[in-house]
Chains A and B, each alone.
Chain A
Amino acid sequence: SQQGEEDPQALSIQEGENATMNCSYKTSINNLQWYRQNSGRGLVHLILIRSNEREKHSGRLRVTLDTSKKSSSLLITASRAADTASYFCATGSILTGGGNKLTFGTGTQLKVEL
């Protein structure tokens, strides 16, 4: 079953603008991760934020996490055409035997136009 729901489902912006995507989830988590998927390809990990963290940065990416509201946001600053892709949040819970079970949301399709 889907754990996270991204909002919006689709987003179209101009190059140079910022893109904000939101994710809501339902159950307690150990961590939340964001992934990027180019059309027809595998997913690439972008950033991980743990349940005891509130904000994290990586290059042009900024992620926030509000565990009281069970929500997260991904901000991409100064977007580029190459950022065009689908973005997914994934909540991590502990697997028996060690490791992370990831449950993905439905994704946001971002289109950055020149």
Chain B
Amino acid sequence: SQTIHQWPATLVQPVGSPLSLECTVEGTSNPNLYWYRQAAGRGLQLLFYSVGIGQISSEVPQNLSASRPQDRQFILSSKKLLLSDSGFYLCAWSPKGLGTEAFFGQGTRLTVV
């Protein structure tokens, strides 16, 4: 069966520090991968998605970047965090093909102080 791992679960970082959140998927190959951010009490905002290794699409201009160095690894990064980067970050994967559901990790609560 497929599983998705996302870590860390919580993170407190000072303004101006770098960020690296990692997500890995097991039990499937060539998945579509996604990073979402959820502000408190709000819906999910799609940040990045990837349909293959090295292929990254950005949905919104921001202080963050994403990379996919391996088929089942998706990394969210920042060189210098801003206060506004605080939020709940969720990684997800979906199979290729039309009308597929997404499977989410447990999320990372990031607080920038």
Binding site for B on A (CB under 8 A): 2, 4, 30-31, 33, 35, 40-45, 48, 50, 88, 90, 92, 94-107
* Cβ contact within 8 Å between A43 and B43: no
Write out the residue numbers on chain B whose beta carbons fall within 8 Å of the beta carbon of A105.
43
* Cβ contact within 8 Å between A30 and B99: yes
Write out the residue numbers on chain A whose beta carbons fall within 8 Å of the beta carbon of B43.
2, 4, 88, 104-107
Q: Is the interface of B mostly helix, strand, loop or mixed?
A: strand
A42 to B89, CA, bound (A): 9
Write out the residue numbers on chain A whose beta carbons fall within 8 Å of the beta carbon of B34.
102
A107 to B38, CA, bound (A): 11
* Cβ contact within 8 Å between B46 and A40: no
Instruction: State how many angstroms separate the Cβ of B2 from the closest Cβ of chain A.
Output: 12
A96 to B99, CA, bound (A): 13
* Cβ contact within 8 Å between B99 and A45: no
Instruction: State how many angstroms separate the Cβ of B32 from the closest Cβ of chain A.
Output: 4
* Cβ contact within 8 Å between B51 and A43: no
Interface residues on B, range: 20 to 34
A112 to B9, CA, bound (A): 27
Write out the residue numbers on chain A whose beta carbons fall within 8 Å of the beta carbon of B7.
none
Write out the residue numbers on chain A whose beta carbons fall within 8 Å of the beta carbon of B32.
95, 97-100
Given contacts A104-B44, A106-B42, is CB(A99)–CB(B51) below 8 Å? yes
Instruction: State how many angstroms separate the Cβ of A5 from the closest Cβ of chain B.
Output: 9
Write out the residue numbers on chain B whose beta carbons fall within 8 Å of the beta carbon of A44.
104
Given contacts A88-B43, A106-B42, is CB(A99)–CB(B106) below 8 Å? no
What is the 8 Å Cβ interface bit string for chain B, positions 64-86, against chain A (1 contact, 0 not)? 00000000000000000000000
A107 to B45, CA, bound (A): 12
* Cβ contact within 8 Å between B94 and A42: no
